[in-house]
Amino acid sequence: MRYFSHPEKEAITLTGILYALSDSVRLEIVLELLDGMEKGAYEFKSLCKSSTLAYHFRILREAGITKTRVAGRYHFVSLRREDLNARFPGLIDIILESAKSSNKE
C-alpha cells in the first residue's frame, strides 16, 4: 500500500499555504473540500488532466492543507482545517471566504 507523508502541524508555514492556494485549480480543490467531507481524487477529474491533478494534490499535501488517505487503488482527500486553524487561527477561513466571494462576481 502506498503511503503519503504529511507535514506535522508545526511544520506548516504561511508561505507554503499562500503558495499552494495561489493556483486557481488548487484553490478550487480546497473550496470543494470545505464541507469537511473526504472526497475521492477521481471527483476532481473535471478540473484538469489526471497527471496534473496529482501534481496539485501533492502541492496541497506538502503545504499541509490537505490529507490524502489511500484505500486500495483509490485516493481520498480531506482538508486539514483543524491543523490549519491551530497553526494560523482564522487564516484559511478568510482566504476561502474571499475566494468564494470572488467566484460569485
Select 18-99's CATH number: 3.20.20.140, 1.10.287.90, 1.10.10.10, 3.40.1550.10. Answer: 1.10.10.10
Please report, for the chain, the start and end positions of each structural domain, with discontinuous segments joined by +.
18-99
What is the pLDDT, as a whole number, of residue 76? Answer: 94
The candidate with the shortest Cα–Cα distance to 30, out of 98, 104, 96, is: 96
Summarize pLDDT for 52-93 with one digit per residue, the tens.
888 999 999 999 999 999 988 889 999 999 999 999 999 988
Summarize pLDDT for 22-52 with one digit per residue, the tens.
999 999 999 999 888 999 988 887 777 777 8
pTM of the model: 0.87
CA distance 18 to 45: 23
What the block records as the C-alpha cell of 78 is 480531506
**Chain centroid to CA 11:** 16
